[in-house]
Amino acid sequence: MVFGCGSAGTTRESGSGDSSPGTDAGYGNGSGGAPGDDGGTASSGNVRDGGTVVPVKHTLNIRVVGSGGVRGGASDCWTKCQQQLDDGQTVHLVAITQSKFRFDGWQDDCSGTGACDLTMSADRTVVASFSWVARITVAPNGTGSGRVTSSPAGIDCPHQCTITVGIGTPVTLKAVPDADTTFLGWGAACSGGTICKFAAYGDQTLWANFEVKAQPTVSACTATAPPAAPPLTQYVQSP
């Protein structure tokens, strides 16, 4: 049996299993399907789904190590997050620090310690690392004056008297008194001479005691009275 079909004049016998381009379920309709109309790929990186243009998305994976967060993209992230962002979108990421912690830097698709700008041309992964820190403060004390420096660098007191270091960091402080001053020693974690060494396991304040040197005693000068003048003898000439 022969069935007429299609404007192109093609024919098909039922049960033959052959179909012309654009036929539906084995029966030709002569119209032909346009590429991309049904499940095909459209231009500009978008996918057509049943005639609806759907933007391509990429995944931004964020992981936070330590106590802190990452601001940017769809929302702030404090532990481990995933965000679905548009293809070509630029994301500005900033580290969020908290008290007693410092930002150590980015890893994977970001680097350094400043803000990070990512273009979402593919899936991206960033890791933000934070570490616990100790705050070391030197407090000059006494009537004298002097200078205190540190290793690691950061303290140059009395101008800059505080440094922040990672927990467990070895710290060395050195006191140098001015010429008219004597260094009497440290308070708190140190004692003894001008060099103080310790490991920073928490916030600490150390007093550097400077005292003005005692001035030498000047003995009083006793004035000696000059000897008394001899009495004047008056001579009278006889007439």
Per-residue pLDDT averaged across 12-24, rounded? 43
User: 52: pLDDT confidence band, cut at 50, 70 and 90?
Assistant: confident
Residue 23 has pLDDT above 50, yes or no: no
Strand spans (E) along the chain? 2-4, 11-13, 47-49, 52-54, 57-65, 68-71, 80-86, 90-97, 101-108, 116-119, 124-141, 146-151, 156-157, 162-166, 169-177, 181-186, 195-200, 204-212
**What is the distance between the alpha carbons of residues 152 and 210, in angstroms, rounded to a whole number?**
23
Q: What is the pLDDT of residues 135-157, one digit of tens each?
A: 999 999 999 999 999 999 999 99
The domain over range 134-212 is classified in CATH as 3.30.2420: no
Q: What does the chain come to in residues?
A: 239
Q: 126 or 239: which carries more pLDDT confidence?
A: 126
% of the chain with per-residue pLDDT over 90: 59
Q: What is the pLDDT of residues 156-200, one digit of tens each?
A: 999 999 999 999 999 999 999 999 999 999 987 777 789 999 999
Contact (CB, 8 A) for 238 and 171:
no
CB-neighbour burial class of residue 127 (10 A; exposed 0-12, middle 13-18, buried 19+): middle
Tokens (6 digits) for 84: 């679905």
User: 232: pLDDT confidence band, cut at 50, 70 and 90?
Assistant: low
pLDDT of residue 219: 62
Average pLDDT, the chain: 79
Q: 198 or 5: which carries more pLDDT confidence?
A: 198
Domain ranges for the chain: 57-132, 134-212
